[in-house]
Amino acid sequence: MQKNVLFDLDGTLLPMDLKKFIDLYLQAFCRKFAHRLQIEPKALVQGIWEGAAAMGQNDGECLNREVFWRALNNACNRDMREYEAAFDAFYRNEFVAAKAATSVNPAAAKSVALLKENGSRLIVATNPIFPKAATYTRIQWAGLNPDDFEYITVYDNCSYSKPNLNYYDEICHFCGIKPEESLMVGNDVDEDMCAAKLGLDTYLVTDCLINRRGKDIARYKHGSFEEFYEWLAVSG
């Protein structure tokens, strides 16, 4: 069994309808903040998207958190950083509206438990474009505990985003792990399976598969999360 296992979150540990999730999330966000901040909902949404895009292009100059707020400030033409605590409170409360786009896969908890029993080091390698409050909340929606994991990537501990290989290299460096002793488990062919280029083993979870370019997935170990659990049980 792999010494180190990296799990993607959205669509992997946490099954979701991604489009519905984004719609519900942004609707709830605008209900909470558009009137309060006197910003048109479309402008606020555009600012969030520009912040996400900026984090996607981050070249390691600073944390994703700084890149996000810089882009949001520019998009809204004001200092939005003063509302950071209010944003965090939103993710602990009203963000629950987006939970309707997600579900719980029992195989995720079974796999995490099995890996922990066998001494594997566990990491949540989710695209680090959300703050801690939002990411930890989604882990709980999956029926898991953030304490199950040694390290969780969020926007204030990462300087890159998927599919930049520096994102995975940064995790390995910070956690002191070797790529060749590690397994990346995810549902996105482009963003998760690219970890193989650094020497990580990979497993493509197909329950909520994202394959934008219609790539041949036969080159990867793949299957449902339940099949992943069965593969772990046999290989362990």
Segment-wise mean pLDDT, segments of 10 residues, the chain, 236 residues: 93 98 98 94 96 97 97 94 96 98 98 96 98 98 98 98 98 97 98 98 98 96 98 87
pLDDT of the residue at 2: 83
First to last CA, the chain: 5
Q: Assess contact for 114 and 233: CB atoms under 8 A.
A: yes
3-state secondary structure the chain: CCCEEEECCECCCECECHHHHHHHHHHHHHHHHHHHHCCCHHHHHHHHHHHHHHHHCCCCCCCHHHHHHHHHHHHHCCCCHHHHHHHHHHHHCHHHHHHHHECCCHHHHHHHHHHHHCCCEEEECCCCCCCHHHHHHHHHHCCCCHHHCCEECCCCCCCCCCCCHHHHHHHHHHHCCCHHHEEEEECECCCCHHHHHHCCEEEEECCCCECCCCCCHHHCEEECHHHHHHHHHHHC
pLDDT of the residue at 221: 97
Distance, in Å, from the CA atom of 105 to the CA atom of 72, rounded to the nearest integer, reads 34
Q: What is the pTM of this model?
A: 0.96
